[in-house]
Amino acid sequence: MRTVFFGYWARRPCCAFPRCRGGLERRKNGGRQALRTPPATGRPGNVFALARTSRFRCRDLSDTAILASQNVGIIEHMTDTRATAHLYPAHDLAICTDANTAVERITAIYERSAQAIRDRFHAFARGEDCSEDLSACYPYLGITVDPKTLVSDARPAWGTVAYPGVYGTTLTRPDLFRDYYRVQIERLLHYHNSPVVVGVSNRPIPLPFVVEASTVDITPEQARALGGAFTLPDLAQIDDSIANGTYRPIGDEPQPLSMFTGERVDLALQRLYHYTATHPKHFQRFVLFTNYQRYVDEFAALGRKLMEDGNDEGYIRFVEPGDTEHELGTPAPDDSHRIKGLPQMPAYHLVREDRLGVTLVNIGVGPSNAKTITDHLAVLRPHCWMMIGHCGGLRRSQQLGDYVLAHAYVRDDHVLDQDLPPWVPVPPIAEIQVALQEAVARITGLSGADMKSRMRTGTVVSTDDRNWELKYQALYSRFNQSRAIAIDMESATIAANGFRLRVPYGTLLCVSDKPLHGELKLRGMANLFYRQRVSQHLDIGMEAVRLLRENGVEALHSRKLRSFDEPAFR
């Protein structure tokens, strides 16, 4: 299609917009107007389609009457797919001007699809014929933004789009994301003054994402026949191209509203339970990662104490692996209620009603686990995650038990190189840096020069080689040139994935040995160090969370984590 920047159509206003600004080309294409924006005025080469009428005359879109008066948030039902199919890859669309109404419709669509899958599976397990096509798809959310409703001055870090066009995404699990969806939709409605559309997408929900333990009641022969009766996960449709900034829509395909599609979210939710042995509903918005079991023991003891003795932090429940729940004001469950073997990365949760509690995950040792858990945890959109663990000190002046506040990273972990190239800088998040530093001062009681002697700020090296000490000659110049002050195997991975997935991050480590200077971990020294430092270090992490919560979570979602071409959802 030839782009006309100026000329007849640029001078004549089209029916969708009172005035075509920036030289928009208008052409008729069988019942729709397609607009192409030149690079100077919009997304380069972006084509977005609009119905013959827009939100200014939305009733003309439908062949049916407006819905019942009680559904005040739904303007009308869009049943004429001929008029709307070119806009969104969805059907049964309804225009919504109210976030709560939109979320209710999203919930109804998802529950209807999920129930259809459950019913079909039970029939399949009974040996009934399930050859008919199953219509059970994800809900779809879309919005069309015209140039007049863009936010041009001081655009917020999230909740808006940068260019005019058509945007959409599939959604899932409204039981977990109801509040999150409501806030995202509210901001879209507020900033762009345009309604959203909610309908049924063309992406079917895979069976394993709805029916847990789906193979328990079926025979091996039936298990082999599942693919003929149900949709199974298709990895060709699940990736992180949106988050990685490499996604390019094809033709008139809508731009993404969210970094994660419904299928990507469902896969992550399933993996979270597998790796942590706790249901995703228990995860809190503040996450602490550690690389030593002793931090877990301390956190578990703290959680049980807060439940038995009460607390003024709003914690109402402590959840351990296996979904063992300890309610506020009740005795701790006995060992018979706990799982016998721990999962790969056990998670523990101090739960608040508003989900602003604390989740602690023991990721073990190594960048692979760190990437795995953050890949999946990111779909829950935490307000931040922080690494509190042990490291090797690289400076002779450091002492065992000193703290290291990372403000830069050397990414020798390599696990994210395909998703986030090593040349991409990973900046510190100021709000988290300040909170961690203030927490250290409050818990240790130190200030001024004493504080600087106990906590150093600098570069942390994260390696994928546990025996890095055997490569001293090769690493000496690398440590020197990077001005590194500490080394571990996880922190850079967690920070880099936070940057990639737009989750605020921070790192506060504790020096447990100094191999470069001959101070290795000896059995007696290590035990003494653990007793003295683990409790204090965990207290610092909890205090940092409290400070961040008190200062307001909105301040955490910095624009430095957002690109110029971002999905609207936080």
What pLDDT, in 10s, does the model give residues 377-388? 999 999 999 999
Report which of 187, 150, 182 is spatially closest to residue 21, judged by C-alpha positions.
150
Query: Sign of torsion, CA 334 337 342 345?
Result: negative
Q: Is residue 91 part of a domain?
A: yes
> Is 380 contained in some domain?
yes
Residue 487 near residue 471 (C-beta atoms within 8 A): no
* Judgement on whether residues 311 and 438 belong to the same structural domain of the protein: yes
Report the alpha-carbon distance of residue 51 to residue 268 in Å, rounded: 36
pLDDT above 90: residue 243: yes
Q: Tell me what the mean pLDDT of segment 252-273 comes to.
A: 95
Residue 97 confidence (pLDDT): 94
What is the amino acid identity at position 369? N
- pLDDT at residue number 525: 59
CATH code where residue 322 lies: 3.40.50.1580
Residue 31 covered by a domain = no
Domain boundary among 211, 228, 262: 262
User: pLDDT tens digits, residue range 205-228?
Assistant: 999 999 875 555 677 777 777 878
Q: Does the structure show a pLDDT above 90 at 153?
A: no
d(CA 15, CA 41): 20
Instruction: Calculate the alpha carbon distances from 430 to 16, 502, 541, 552 in Å.
Output: 43, 15, 16, 14
CA distance 211 to 185: 28
Q: 565 falls in which pLDDT band (50, 70, 90)?
A: confident
Q: What is the reported pLDDT for 156? A: 80
- What mean pLDDT is predicted for residues 279-308? 96
State which of 232, 262, 292 marks the end of a domain: 262
pLDDT attached to residue 154:
67
Pair 566, 158: CB distance under 8 Å: yes
- How far CA 283 is from CA of 46, 223, 288, 326, in Å, comes to 38, 32, 11, 15
Does one domain contain both 72 and 110? Answer: yes
Ramachandran class of 53: left when φ > 0, alpha when ψ lies in -120 to 50, beta otherwise = beta
What are the two backbone dihedrals, phi and then psi, of residue 561, each rounded to the nearest 5 degrees? Answer: -90, -5
Is residue 290, in this structure, part of any structural domain at all?
Answer: yes
Tokens of 94: 């309804």
Closest-CA residue to 46 (of 81, 93, 91, 1): 1
Q: Which two tokens stand for residue 69?
A: 């008066």
Q: Which of the pair, 37 or 320, is modelled with greater confidence?
A: 320
What pLDDT was estimated at residue 530? Answer: 66
**pLDDT for the residue numbered 252:** 84
Amino acid letter, 131: S
Average pLDDT, the chain: 83
Q: Indicate whether 240 and 320 sit together in one domain.
A: no
C-alpha 246/C-alpha 182 separation (Å) is 28
Q: Is 447 exposed, middle or buried (0-12, 13-18, 19+ CB in 10 A)?
A: exposed
H helical segments located in 361-485? 367-377, 430-444, 448-454, 472-482
Distance, in Å, from the CA atom of 256 to the CA atom of 167, rounded to the nearest integer, reads 6
CA 150 from chain centre, in angstroms, equals 25
Q: How far is CA 398 from the centre of its chain?
A: 36
Find the mean pLDDT for residues 249-276: 94
Lowest mean pLDDT among 93-107, 222-236, 514-528: 514-528
The Cα–Cα gap between 281 and 291 comes to 23
pLDDT of residue 269: 97
Q: At 133, is the secondary structure helix, strand, or coil?
A: coil
My answer on whether 237 and 205 are in the same domain is yes
Using 50, 70 and 90 to split pLDDT, how confident is the model at 317? very high
- Judge whether 37 lies within some domain: no
Rounded Cα distance between 464 and 368, Å, is 8
Last residue of a domain, one of 209, 230, 262: 262
In a domain? residue 529: yes
Averaged pLDDT for residues 319-330: 94
Distance CA 519, CA 524 (A): 13
State the Cα–Cα distance between residues 433 and 59, nearest whole angstrom.
52
Reduced to 3 states, what is the DSSP secondary structure of residue 256? Answer: strand
Query: Is pLDDT of 8 > 80?
Result: no
C-alpha separations of 275 from 82, 106, 147, 347, 362 in Å: 45, 29, 45, 9, 11
One domain, residues 175 and 199: yes
In the chain, count of helices (H) and strands (E)? 15, 19
Q: What is the pLDDT of residue 113?
A: 97
Percent over 90 (pLDDT), the chain: 58
Helices 491-500/367-377 angle, 10° precision: 30
Residue 225: predicted pLDDT: 78
Please choose, from the candidates 189, 188, 209, the residue with its C-alpha nearest in 3D space to the C-alpha of residue 258: 188
The CA-atom distances, in angstroms, between 504 and each of 297, 442, 496 are 26, 22, 10
CATH code, 76: 3.30.1730.10
Q: How many CB atoms are located within 10 Å of the residue 172 CB?
A: 26
- Kindly state whether residues 249 and 349 are assigned to the same domain: no
Token digits of residue 86: 């070119």
Same domain? For 342 and 386 the reply is yes
User: Strand, coil or helix: what is 272?
Assistant: helix
pTM: 0.83
If one counts the domains in the chain, the total is 2
List, for residues 180-199, the tens digit of each pLDDT value: 999 999 999 998 989 999 99
Q: Quick one: 228 and 289 in the same domain?
A: no
Beta strand 358-362 with 347-352 is antiparallel
pLDDT (0 to 100) of residue 441: 97
Residue 90 included in any domain: yes
Q: Are residues 189 and 292 in the same domain?
A: no
Interval 382-439: pLDDT, tens? 999 999 999 999 998 888 899 999 999 999 999 999 999 999 999 999 999 999 999 9
Least confident span in 154-163, 285-294, 432-441: 154-163
pLDDT value for 22: 34
Domain with 506 in it:
277-560
Model pLDDT, residue 334: 80
Assess whether pLDDT exceeds 70 at residue 264: yes
357 and 402 inside one domain: yes
Q: Verify that 493 and 538 share a domain, yes or no.
A: yes
| Per-residue pLDDT at 538 exceeds 80 | yes
Q: Are 249 and 285 contained in the same domain?
A: no
pLDDT tens-digit series, residues 57-78: 233 333 333 333 334 465 555 4
pLDDT of residue 47: 31
Does any domain span residue 36? no
Pick from 243, 231, 288: which is nearest to 268 by CA? 243
Query: In the structure, what pLDDT confidence band is assigned to residue 304 with cuts at 50, 70 and 90?
Result: very high
Instruction: Give residue 306's Cα distance to chain centre.
Output: 29
